[in-house]
């Protein structure tokens, strides 16, 4: 999820975006079944001259199959979450830290929406803010808009229209979906195509604790001047937090003068620190 957002910024998708999402049929969860026990016995035939010894039979043990309903997504608990970002490009690796400040979800136009402020301290670029708005809907988590500002003069903005599916709800291993986006604010318009899939469940360490995650893979491409920029992201999505606690993203491009880059976001602690007035007032407006 983090990598996808960064990719949209990198390729300058900073205007209204048109999106079509096609969902493949969701695998049906198995019903709960309880197999009843059966007992069989055979009575000895009556006889006047021969005694017949009774033979005892043991009934098979009942077989019980249970299933757990796939988890549905819910808003992220409000607070500030610290993360580490490692970037590798041209053989050099740089590590920076930042925070994801999640504000409380609010009902707007009949749906739950939540704003997140991503702030990163960069030695070369200064302080960079990215304000992101998500919508929590019965069928999944959607990206609605983002705006990036920086002390270096950076100013990118995108109102996603219609919204981009980030993760489906409920989360089911094997779920796949495709996304096709366009940015009509550019001449020519930039187009973004991607395929996503929930690969498996797993556990990873966050702040010394093991946490359950769903592993989501996304591959995308954007045509640029007869070439294309490519994106490959592995997101480790935690249902309780409502976001990916780790993202491993690789960017590559055929555009002359550009190369490849790898970014890894890692959440440092599962416990957020409380929001404060400074955090609220420093959000780009």
Which residues lie closer than 8 Å to 153 by C-beta, 6 or more apart? none
Give the Cβ contact number of residue 116 at 10 Å: 19
Give the Cβ contact number of residue 175 at 10 Å: 22
126-145 CB burial, b ≥16 within 10 A, e <16: eebbbbbbbbbeeebbbbbb
List the chain domain ranges.
Answer: 2-23+83-280
Q: Angle at CA 56, nearest 5°, toward 53 and 62?
A: 170
pLDDT along the chain (285 residues), means of 10: 57 40 45 38 43 46 54 95 93 92 94 93 69 94 82 69 87 93 63 90 96 96 82 96 96 79 96 82 53
- What does the pLDDT read at residue 107? 95
Asked whether the beta carbons of 144 and 136 are under 8 A apart, the reply is: no
- What does the pLDDT read at residue 229? 86
Which residues lie closer than 8 Å to 49 by C-beta, 6 or more apart? none
For the chain, the first-to-last Cα distance in angstroms comes to 23
- What does the pLDDT read at residue 16? 35
- What does the pLDDT read at residue 54? 45
Asked whether the beta carbons of 89 and 10 are under 8 A apart, the reply is: no
Structure tokens at 187: 């001449």
Predicted model pTM:
0.76
Give the Cβ contact number of residue 213 at 10 Å: 21
- What does the pLDDT read at residue 122? 65
Instruction: Tell me how far apart the alpha carbons of residues 49 and 72 are, in angstroms, rounded to a whole number.
Output: 71
Q: Is 165 exposed, middle or buried (0-12, 13-18, 19+ CB in 10 A)?
A: buried
89-101 CB burial, b ≥16 within 10 A, e <16: eeeeeeebebbbb
């Amino acid at each position: 999820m983090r990598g996808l957002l960064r990719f949209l910024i990198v390729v300058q998708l900073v205007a209204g975006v048109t999106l079509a999402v096609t969902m493949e049929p969701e695998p049906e969860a198995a019903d709960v079944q309880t197999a009843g026990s059966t007992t069989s016995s055979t009575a000895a035939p009556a006889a006047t001259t021969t005694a017949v010894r009774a033979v005892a039979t043991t009934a098979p043990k009942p077989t019980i199959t249970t299933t757990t309903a796939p988890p549905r997504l819910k808003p992220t608990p409000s607070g500030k979450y610290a993360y580490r970002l490692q970037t590798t490009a041209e053989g050099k690796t740089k590590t920076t830290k930042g925070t994801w400040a999640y504000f409380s979800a609010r009902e707007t136009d009949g749906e739950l929406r939540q704003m997140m402020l991503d702030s990163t301290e960069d030695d070369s670029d200064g302080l960079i803010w990215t304000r992101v708005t998500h919508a929590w809907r019965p069928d999944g988590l959607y990206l609605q808009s983002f705006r990036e500002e920086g002390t270096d003069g950076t100013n990118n903005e995108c109102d996603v229209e219609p919204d981009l599916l980030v993760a489906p709800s409920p989360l089911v291993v094997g779920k796949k979906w495709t996304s096709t986006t366009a940015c009509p604010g550019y001449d020519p318009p930039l187009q973004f195509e991607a395929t996503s899939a929930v690969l498996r469940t797993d556990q990873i360490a966050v702040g010394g604790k093991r946490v359950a995650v769903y592993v989501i893979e996304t591959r995308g491409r954007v045509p640029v001047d007869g070439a294309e920029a490519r994106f490959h992201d592995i997101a480790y999505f935690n249902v309780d937090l409502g976001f990916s606690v780790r993202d491993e993203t690789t960017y590559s491009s055929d555009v002359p003068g550009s190369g490849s880059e790898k970014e890894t976001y890692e959440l440092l602690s599962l416990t957020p620190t409380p929001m404060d007035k400074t955090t609220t007032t420093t959000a780009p407006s």
